Amino acid sequence: MSNNILRFYQVIERTGLSRSTLYNRMNPNNKSYDPSFPKPRPLGPRLVGWSSNEIEQWIEQTLKPE
């Protein structure tokens, strides 16, 4: 699988999480914080993206039932 960079709304689409839930998972001050959630990478002054491989691994480990 190639490692592409995903933008915020692509991460929402892949994970099935809402916008607010995604922000909560990334916020260490929130009770729903998930330290295993992949960190965004800066792509520009006001632009971030996520590794598609890291997002897929997180989905496999966290969201998919065994």
Strand pairing class (5-6; 41-44): unpaired
Q: How is the chain split into domains, by residue range? A: 5-63
pTM: 0.86
Rounded CA-CA distance 59/15 in Å is: 7
Question: For 18-57, how does the pLDDT look when each residue is reduced to its tens digit (9 = 90+)?
Answer: 999 999 999 999 999 999 999 999 999 999 999 999 999 9
Class of residue 42 by CB neighbours under 10 A (exposed 0-12, middle 13-18, buried 19+): exposed
Rounded CA-CA distance 12/63 in Å is: 13
Are 17 and 8 in contact by the 8 Å Cβ rule? The answer is no
